Amino acid sequence: MSEEDEGSRKRAKGPMGVSRRTLFIGAGSTAALLGLGALRYAGHTPLVRPPGGQDEAHLVSACIRCEKCYEACPRGVIVPAHIEDGLLGMRSPALNFDADFCDYCADENGGEPLCVKVCPTEALRLPTGATAENTLLGLAVIDEAQCLAFRDTGCRYCYDACPYEAMELDKDNRPIVLEDKCNGCGACESVCVSLQNGSIAEGATARAIVVHPLDEVEG
């Protein structure tokens, strides 16, 4: 066999060999790090996860980054986590409520979340009896400094959008999150207009109501 043919053969095999080695090394390293509690020490940022992804260690270790959950989400709110969110969780599924919210696939497949159904490794898995109401994705938190309603504008978009009656209005007609009813679906965040309508908070990059991961608000 000529040197040119031998080089071509090695190049043809190379990507597959590297890919396989990388897969095994990456999976083994992730499992080892998780076993040592590395999520706490690897710069891992808490994220709002899709239904069934609330066991963070299980999700990060079992997810193979196949992107099936992104493709299955009818509202397009599942996005890949970025490297700045933490190396171990990079490209694992997270929720983004910029344009829509998670309705637990209420109109599809009898209300079973499609992301859970299509996950091939059960990285997203729900316990028996799980419902939209008792699956806590996160907690909505209002930044009163940015909220238009706290500047006497009468804004109540978030209150009107909440599908679970997890918000109420105070005596001044300002929205309040009822923490014991909020499941973090993101409906309130998706309709908040604070950034485009009169936000005066210098350098504001987030809306006046944002769903935070439970680990973040409880910690």
Other C-beta atoms lying within 10 Å of the C-beta of residue 64: 14
167-169 and 175-177 strand pairing: antiparallel
pLDDT tens across the length of the chain (219 residues): 555 554 444 444 433 333 444 444 444 444 444 444 555 445 578 999 999 999 999 999 999 999 999 999 999 999 999 988 888 889 999 999 999 999 999 888 677 899 999 999 999 999 999 999 999 999 999 999 899 999 877 899 999 999 999 999 999 999 999 999 999 999 999 999 998 875 555 557 899 999 999 988 775
DSSP 176: E
The rounded distance, in Å, linking the Cα atoms of 207 and 214 is 18
Per the CB < 8 A criterion, the answer to whether 60 and 92 are in contact is: yes
